[in-house]
Amino acid sequence: DVKVTQSSRYLVKRTGEKVFLECVQDMDHENMFWYRQDPGLGLRLIYFSYDVKMKEKGDIPEGYSVSREKKERFSLILESASTNQTSMYLCATAAGTGVAGELFFGEGSRLTVL
């Protein structure tokens, strides 16, 4: 089974802090994604990566950056956290490119910014 592990299930940070959300997968998938989930808004894509050191902006990249130094690890970085970034963050992976395959999700990281 594919396993997507998000390092923290719950985080509480203060405004202005730098926040790192880590995601690790064990299935050698090329594609990795970071989504944000908010009530009434569904899932919105922040960034995705289709290879090591490669990244593409999603629909809402403002205020976020990402890092993919190794194939299995994809990090989401909030350089200066703000209260409007309080949300559930979901990491996902998928095999291949240009193929409508299945997304495999982690359990999510719920971030509260005070």
Residues in touch with another protein (CB under 8 A): 4, 31, 33, 35, 40-45, 48, 50, 56, 90, 92, 94, 96-103, 105-108
To another protein, the closest distance from the beta carbon of 18 in angstroms equals 25
To another protein, the closest distance from the beta carbon of 39 in angstroms equals 8
**Contact criterion met (CB below 8 Å) for 92 and 25:** no
Question: Is the Cβ of residue 51 or residue 79 nearer to another protein in the bound state?
Answer: 51
SS3 for 83? helix
State the DSSP code for 39.
Answer: T
To another protein, the closest distance from the beta carbon of 80 in angstroms equals 27
Q: How far is Cα of residue 78 from the mean position of the Cα atoms in its chain?
A: 11
Question: Is the Cβ of residue 44 or residue 71 nearer to another protein in the bound state?
Answer: 44
Q: How many CA atoms lie within 13 A of 111 on its CB side?
A: 30
Question: Is the Cβ of residue 17 or residue 37 nearer to another protein in the bound state?
Answer: 37
Q: Which residue has the tokens 């989930």?
A: 37
Question: Is the Cβ of residue 78 or residue 106 nearer to another protein in the bound state?
Answer: 106
SS3 for 41? coil
